[in-house]
């Protein structure tokens, strides 16, 4: 089973605009995902997908409060905390919180919020 790290975010903007904005925030390459309405973000060793999601709330994680999800599959056999994937999503989360009015929540393996989201999960902007 692949391990993932995911950044859930909420915006009233269409997916294409959100994906373009996210790519611009971190300097990632953006391309459409064939056969879907989603997008791929590529930045060095990290490949992510951006899409609308249908997750439901899960044991205290208010996933249904967010319209979009950025998913990164952990490429190595290491724990997510040790790899570039979580580091990249944390950097993206910081940029979103600093520069956009979007609520966001970073989740590791859809099991627990990232330590940086332990308080104030879902706050907009700063």
Model confidence at 14: pLDDT above 50? yes
pTM of the predicted model as reported, rounded to 2 decimal places: 0.83
> Is 111 within a domain?
yes
- In this structure, what CATH number is given to the domain that contains residue 98? 3.30.70
Looking at the structure of the chain, the number of domains it has is 1
Domain membership of residue 35 (yes or no) is yes
Instruction: Report which of 96, 103, 34, 18 is spatially closest to residue 64, judged by C-alpha positions.
Output: 103
- 68-81 pLDDT, tens digit per residue, is 999 998 877 767 77
Strand pairing of 4-10 and 68-73? Answer: antiparallel
Establish if 123 belongs to a structural domain: no
Q: Is residue 126 part of a domain?
A: no
Rounded distance between C-alpha atoms, residue 16 and residue 6, angstroms: 18
């Amino acid at each position: 089973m692949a391990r993932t790290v995911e950044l859930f975010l909420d915006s009233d903007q269409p997916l294409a605009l959100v994906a373009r904005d996210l790519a611009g925030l971190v300097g990632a390459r953006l391309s459409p995902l064939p056969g879907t309405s989603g997008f791929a973000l590529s930045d060095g060793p990290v490949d992510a997908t951006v899409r609308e999601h249908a997750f439901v709330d899960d044991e205290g994680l208010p996933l249904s409060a967010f319209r979009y999800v950025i998913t990164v599959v952990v490429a190595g056999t290491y724990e997510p905390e040790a790899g570039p994937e979580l580091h990249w999503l944390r950097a993206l989360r910081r940029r979103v919180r600093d520069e956009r009015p979007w609520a966001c929540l970073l989740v590791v393996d859809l099991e627990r919020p990232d330590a940086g989201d332990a308080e104030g999960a879902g706050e907009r902007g700063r």
